[in-house]
Amino acid sequence: MNLKQLEHLLAVAEAGSFSRAAERLHLTQSALSRSIRLLEEDLGTRLLDRMGKRTELTPLGLTVASRARRILFESAELRRSTDLLTQGGQGTISIALGSGPGVLLLTPLLVHVAQQHPQLSIEVMRGSQEAHLGMLRTRRLDALVVDIRGIAPSADLRIEPVSQMRAGFICRSGHPLAALHRPPRFAEVAAYPLASTFLPADTARILIDRYGIGADPKTAVRLRCEEIGSLLETVRASDAVFLGIVAAAREGILSGELIELMLDPPLDSHAQFALVTLAGRTEAPAMGLLRAFVSDRLRD
């Protein structure tokens, strides 16, 4: 029995057929069949059942496949650990940033690495949180910095809380609502285009509990995307009102371009940002640098 045979078994189990698995592995079907047959002979039992056009793991095959995944994971980690120990502070880390961390961290992080750690290679990705979780689990990413309210707890994930950041309503300083001599009501805010990211379910519940069913983001939010920077630029150039983490508008508020609207009643909602890594995976030395930077920058 060898690691290649275990890889071949998992490939057939995941593909559901020898032909598809052989294509993915760039092997001939006969070579793949021979590899599986030798594994079965070595273990003294059948691991796969051919059921019409589909191939499935036998009950014992399920047990072998489960342990094979762990063996292959540990093998990959052994190679990774050896590589990392020879890199010191160099090497590469790949991370993904959610919408909030993206607007707060992306440019400062790249500048920090360029100035303070020029020997380090860093790859930063943006996009779907679901896709990023898949890339983390297949070890194509080292870490995610995201709002964990959208992540289900899982034994294979290590979730390290970093900060809670307050949410609020932001508009341009010359906005009609800024001229009111009292806190605006949600209905008055919603009369203008409300701009936000794709909000998690618990934020929707808070909005509805606080302001009524008319505050359901599904109907109240008219401008929606994951790029907070673009949403804030839209707010600067129009009467749109941004709903999201207040810290994202920090520079605009300090410059006087943007202001925070304090509604009646006030919004009581926070994003919960965390660093998410794969449990049991050997970390690159540079992950310590990332942790320190994220903890310092990701705050109200």
Question: Is the pLDDT higher at 186 or at 119?
Answer: 186
Instruction: Give the predicted TM-score (pTM) of the model.
Output: 0.68
Span of 137-146, 148-157, 213-222, 249-258 with lowest mean pLDDT: 148-157
- Extended beta strands in 60-156, E state: 92-97, 121-125, 143-147
Q: What is the pLDDT of residues 126-152, one digit of tens each?
A: 888 889 999 999 989 999 999 998 788
Q: In this structure, what are the phi and psi dihedrals at residue 5, rounded to the nearest 5 degrees?
A: -65, -40
- Which pLDDT band, with edges at 50, 70 and 90, does 97 fall under? very high
Residue 84 predicted with pLDDT over 60: no
pLDDT at res. 90: 56
Asked if 3-86 and 91-300 have one fold, the answer is: no
Nearest CA to 241 out of 278, 180, 276, 189 is that of 189
Buried (b) or exposed (e) across 223-246, using 16+ Cβ within 10 A? beebebeebbebbbeeebbbbbbb
Q: What is the pLDDT of residues 40-82, one digit of tens each?
A: 888 888 889 887 778 889 888 889 988 888 888 878 767 766 6
Token pair recorded at residue 49: 């059942």
Average pLDDT, the chain: 90
Contacts with 3 (C-beta within 8 Å, 6 or more apart), sequence order: 71, 72, 75
Q: What is the pLDDT of residues 151-160, one digit of tens each?
A: 888 999 999 9
Q: What is the pLDDT of residues 157-183, one digit of tens each?
A: 999 999 999 999 999 999 999 999 899
Asked if 294 and 145 count as a contact pair (C-beta separation under 8 A), the reply is: yes
Q: What is the pLDDT of residues 268-300, one digit of tens each?
A: 999 999 999 999 888 877 888 899 999 999 887
Q: Does domain 3-86 have CATH number 1.10.10.10?
A: yes
Residue 87 predicted with pLDDT over 80: no
DSSP 184: P
CA gap 122, 99 in Å, rounded: 18
pLDDT at res. 83: 62
Burial class (CB in 10 A: 0-12, 13-18, 19+), 31: exposed
Domain boundary assignment for the chain: 3-86, 91-300
Asked if 138 and 14 count as a contact pair (C-beta separation under 8 A), the reply is: no
Q: Domain spanning 91-300 has what CATH number?
A: 3.40.190.290
